[in-house]
Amino acid sequence: MTTAILNERRQQVHRTGQGPMDLACNRDSLAGAVSQRACVFCGSRVVLYPIADALHLVHGPIGCAAYTWDIRGALSSGPELHRLSFSTDLQERDVIFGGEKKLTAALNELIDRHQPKAAFVYSTCIVGIIGDDLKAVCRAMSEKKGIPVLPVQSEGFKGNKRSGYLAACQAMFQLIGTGDVTGIPATSVNLFGDFNLAGEIWIIREYLKRMGVAVVANITGDGRVDDIRRCHGAALNLVQCSGATMDLAKMMQESHGVPFIRVSYLGIEDMADSLYRVAEFFKDCDPKIMDRTRELVRDELNKLLPELAMLRRDLEGKKAAIYVGGAFKAFSLIKALRHLGMQVVLVGSQTGTKEDYEELATITDPGTIIVDDSNPLELSAFLKEQAVDIFVGGVKERPIAYKLGMGFCDHNHERKIALEGFIGMAHFAREVHRSVMSPVWLFTSRKITASTRPIIKEAVA
């Protein structure tokens, strides 16, 4: 099978060690490509939707709301308003005569009934075309109801998912600085770019608590409007997930002087390193923090490492491919897979930046394929060429892997178990082991040698 690459896409594929690294990225997808990418609205929606006590109203035809109705599994410890789907369900007459009246009526009704702490109103393609004045409607409603009603300028065609992240950040930024910061301790942080999939943010908050660090706001997993309003009172922002909330961290640094550090809670080194950097930041005001952090890491590793060593016996030398939304996550995944003795032979992302890809080229082994904005045909050809044992990706990649007779691990919206933190690394290792070693592959045409049969049983169910 030849590896099918659109000629125009050759610049978006690189092999580590072969020629200079100069990946063309952050460009629009080609028309006609079976792209795995999404739109601006999608970017905004996934970032904001975990704020559980806000109203999220999609101003557009029904599809935009229907497809984003509770798809991400962002858990809340309290309100569940975010799990309902609200839409103005624009009809032909609204497209002709404008949808502002309908939007006003919808907001009126929803705010009265649900008494949310704030409302986010998402613009969609059609709203951008018919020219509804979202800002004016939101401003008027804000005054009338006495809560922030925030327009999210997320018209689908105005870029890709990254532009949607920015629009979400701009909407949230309007909240920040409007709350009372009294009582916030000196050792305090905000968690940026964690969406509490499978309860992950609770794991991180627990680590920080053990270190003696207070969390002011979750942005946005298990998020609350009032927390976000006062989050400028925190001493530091911890920014995970490269694309989604980096813009907001930069805005906050500029306007409120809150510094940020980039962190990752995936894998052993990145998790430990992130905690150490937080401790480092606060060591002057809390001299004991470093000791507590070391103790925490030691405790967690003592629990984790024996299990990893055991799983590694089966996984040593197996090949993995990674295709993720933002490239930053790929760095952590590569390291995590190496801990399992696995070799990463393909790394791709929908929206990586030039810097991301340069970094990937540095840390991957020679021959590793690096790809931007790929498509199923290309991915499946690379997966076969590299004889991959497990594919780490999202919803649209899963059935491709299975058809090819490969294991799969969802590291995106549809993960059902927490993959962050030290315990998350154990979960990840178990999930990879479970899929790579599944007996189902013995029934398939892919060649399985006796040595790939699992030699160990999972210690923990």
Partner 1 sequence: MLLRHTPKEITERSALSINPAKTCQPVGAMYASLGVHGCLPHSHGSQGCCAYHRSALTRHYKEPISAATSSFTEGASVFGGQANLLQAIENIFTVYEPEVIAVHTTCLSETIGDDLPQMTDKARESGKIPDGKHVIFANTPSYVGSHVTGFSNMVKGMLRVAESTGKKNGKVNIIPGWVEPADMEEIKRLCALIGVAITLFPDTSGVLNGPMSGQYKMFPEGGVTIRELKGTGDAIGTLALGDWCSADAARYLDSQFKVPCRILEMPFGLKATDRFIDALRTIAGVSVPEEIAHERGQLVDLISDMHQYFYHKKVALVGDPDQLIALTEFFTSIDMWPIHIVTGTPGKRFEKKIKKLTEGSPFPVNVRSAGDMFLLHQWIKNEPVDLILGNTYCKYIARDEDIPQVRFGFPILDRVGHQYFPTVGYKGGIRLLEKVLNALLDRKDRDDSEQSFELVL
Ranges within 8-37 binding partner 1 (CB under 8 A): 8, 28-37
Indicate the residue among 90 and 201 with the shorter CB distance to partner 1: 90
Decide: is 94 part of the binding site for partner 1 (CB under 8 A). Answer: yes
Indicate the residue among 130 and 301 with the shorter CB distance to partner 1: 130
Decide: is 130 part of the binding site for partner 1 (CB under 8 A). Answer: yes
> Smallest gap, in angstroms, from Cβ of residue 10 to partner 1?
12
Decide: is 338 part of the binding site for partner 1 (CB under 8 A). Answer: no
Indicate the residue among 202 and 402 with the shorter CB distance to partner 1: 402
Chain-centroid distance, C-alpha 94: 34
Q: State the Cα torsion 309-311-314-319 to the nearest 10°.
A: -100
Fill in the per-residue mask, 347 to 386: x = in contact with partner 1 (CB under 8 A), - = not in contact: -----------------------------xx--x---x--
Stretch that binds partner 1, among 98-106, 139-147, 337-345, 364-372 (CB under 8 A): 98-106
CB 355: neighbour CB atoms within 10 A? Answer: 12
Partners of residue 262 on adjacent β-strands: 239
> Smallest gap, in angstroms, from Cβ of residue 445 to partner 1?
4
Q: Which of 24, 62, 301, 310 binds partner 1 (CB under 8 A)?
A: 62
Q: Is the four-CA dihedral 433, 437, 438, 441 of positive or negative sign? A: positive
> Smallest gap, in angstroms, from Cβ of residue 276 to partner 1?
38
Indicate the residue among 67 and 202 with the shorter CB distance to partner 1: 67
CB 450: neighbour CB atoms within 10 A? Answer: 5
Indicate the residue among 440 and 455 with the shorter CB distance to partner 1: 440
Decide: is 111 part of the binding site for partner 1 (CB under 8 A). Answer: no
Site for partner 1, residues 41 to 60, rule: CB under 8 A: 41-42, 60
Decide: is 105 part of the binding site for partner 1 (CB under 8 A). Answer: yes
> Smallest gap, in angstroms, from Cβ of residue 214 to partner 1?
30
> Smallest gap, in angstroms, from Cβ of residue 275 to partner 1?
34
How many residues in the shown chain lie near partner 1 by CB under 8 A? Answer: 80
Stretch that binds partner 1, among 124-132, 165-173, 248-256, 276-284 (CB under 8 A): 124-132
Chain-centroid distance, C-alpha 410: 12
Query: Up-side HSE of residue 383: CA atoms within 13 Å toward CB?
Result: 30
Indicate the residue among 102 and 339 with the shorter CB distance to partner 1: 102
> Smallest gap, in angstroms, from Cβ of residue 154 to partner 1?
10
Indicate the residue among 37 and 224 with the shorter CB distance to partner 1: 37
Site for partner 1, residues 149 to 168, rule: CB under 8 A: 156-160
Site for partner 1, residues 393 to 452, rule: CB under 8 A: 395-396, 398-400, 402-405, 444-446
Decide: is 272 part of the binding site for partner 1 (CB under 8 A). Answer: no
Indicate the residue among 159 and 179 with the shorter CB distance to partner 1: 159
> Smallest gap, in angstroms, from Cβ of residue 76 to partner 1?
10
Indicate the residue among 94 and 247 with the shorter CB distance to partner 1: 94
Is-contact 132 98, C-beta < 8 A? Answer: yes
